[in-house]
Amino acid sequence: MIVSFDIGGSAIKGGVARSETDIVPLARRPTPGNDFGQFVDTLRALIAEAGERPDCLSFSIAGVVDPDTQAITCANIPCVHGRNLGADLEAELGYPILIANDADCFAMAEAMSGAGRGHRIVFGAILGTGVGGGLVADGRLVNAAGGFAGEWGHGPIIASFAGTPPVAIPAYPCACGQKGCVDTIGGARGLERLHRLVHDTDLRSEEIIDLWVKGDEQSTRTLDVYMDLVSPPLALTINITGATIVPVGGGLSNSEHLLARLDREVRRRILRKFDRPLIVASQCRVEPGLIGAALLGLNHVQEQTHAA
């Protein structure tokens, strides 16, 4: 049995996993963002709820572990930011610790229990407030030891012009420190930014998509520009990884019309041709981070058992 956690800036969610099909949620607790002692105590209380000693603890967290130093970058939880979190938690709690980025855990959940079942290479894409991703190959998370694989949302690669007729696209500053990243225009806030750029009008992403579906000319123009900017880097990611399915999570994935359009735009730009949808909605709509972390923990325990 393992205990898994999905840790965000506002809440910690726990779960008990005994198999891929037996994952039971525990209580949800506020995240103590500024006090590491309270953070550990919250985890300890959730572990106690499991009622038995786990073989390991696995974590999905909104941060990235450096594969060389094992230090975590997690700006929205200051008390863990910069720590070798795995080692620190192992010392405090006394269990083997696995830590993975939340997008990686999403990809793992989709590869093993969602839309990616039966596929060797699964790229999980996040189109939420921003843009993220994770890569699973042959049932293994590429970033199992930490790392940045799958982060297609970052890198100065956004086109300078997009749409027909072309619109000049500024190299917007990104939170990662670079300019012109997919993250600056690919998520919900990015779609709103593009609409403001093209039409000097402020609308929420849901409103833009709803108007586009209804045939509104301004929103149609915005979506044309959006597709011109987002589909090429996603197509390149698919060419490089060889992914044969791309489950999408995050708020924008709630629009089947947007995913269908993105699928068409990406499939016409990739080398391998598919006669079926490639970009699809995620199937693990409830607690994918918790599920993905649980699957990582279960795989780890199974590997350790076989090694012994």
For 214-246, the pLDDT digits (tens) are: 999 999 999 999 999 999 999 999 999 999 999
Angle at 76 between CA 71 and CA 79, to 5 degrees: 55
Q: What local confidence, expressed as pLDDT, does residue 62 receive?
A: 87
Residue 16 resides in a domain:
yes
| Same structural domain, 172 and 199 | yes
Give the model's pLDDT for residue 307: 67
HSE value, Cβ hemisphere, 13 Å, CA-based, for 141: 33
Question: Which residues 6+ apart lie within 8 Å of 173 measured at CB?
Answer: 179, 184
187 is a domain residue:
yes
Residue 87's pLDDT is what? Answer: 96
Q: Is residue 245 assigned to a domain? A: yes
288 occurs within a structural domain: no
Task: Let me know whether 134 and 261 are in one domain.
Answer: yes
Q: Are 50 and 297 in contact (CB under 8 A)?
A: no
Residue 225: CA count within 13 A, CB half-sphere: 27
CA distance 5 to 98: 10
Domain shared by 61 and 120, yes or no: no
Tell me what pLDDT residue 172 has: 97
| Model confidence pLDDT, tens digit, residues 16-40 | 999 888 988 898 999 999 999 999 9
- Assess whether 85 and 180 both reside in one domain: no
Would 108 be classed as within a structural domain?
Answer: no
Number of separate domains in the chain: 2
Verify that 48 and 137 share a domain, yes or no: no
Domain boundary among 72, 101, 130: 101
Residues 66-72, mean pLDDT to the nearest whole number: 93
Residue 89 lies in a domain: yes
User: What is the CA angle 250-66-281, rounded to 5?
Assistant: 15
Same domain, 16 and 152: no
Structural domain boundaries, residue 22: 2-101
Share of the chain above pLDDT 70, in %: 99
Chain-centre distance for alpha carbon 176:
16
Asked whether residue 12 falls in the same domain as residue 122, the answer is: no
Last residue of a domain, one of 78, 101, 124: 101
Q: Do 48 and 177 have their domain in common?
A: no
Residue 188 belongs to domain with CATH number: 3.30.420.40
Q: Is 128 in the same domain as 12?
A: no
Q: Taking all residues of the chain, what is their mean pLDDT, rounded to a whole number?
A: 95
Give the predicted TM-score (pTM) of the model: 0.93
pLDDT of 134: 97
pLDDT of residue 286: 81
Same domain, 245 and 120: yes
**Is 291 a domain residue?**
no
Query: 126 and 272 in one domain?
Result: yes
- The predicted-structure confidence for 249-280, as pLDDT tens digits, reads as follows 999 999 999 999 999 999 999 999 999 999 99
pLDDT average, residue stretch 11-18: 94
Q: Are residues 269 and 121 in the same domain?
A: yes
66 occurs within a structural domain: yes
Collect all residues with Cβ–Cβ distance below 8 Å to 233 and sequence separation of at least 6: 152, 157, 158, 182
At residue 308 the predicted structure's pLDDT band, cuts being 50, 70 and 90, is: low
* pLDDT of 305 higher than 80: no
* pLDDT for res 7: 95
Which pLDDT tens digit goes with each residue over 160-186? 999 999 999 999 999 889 999 999 999
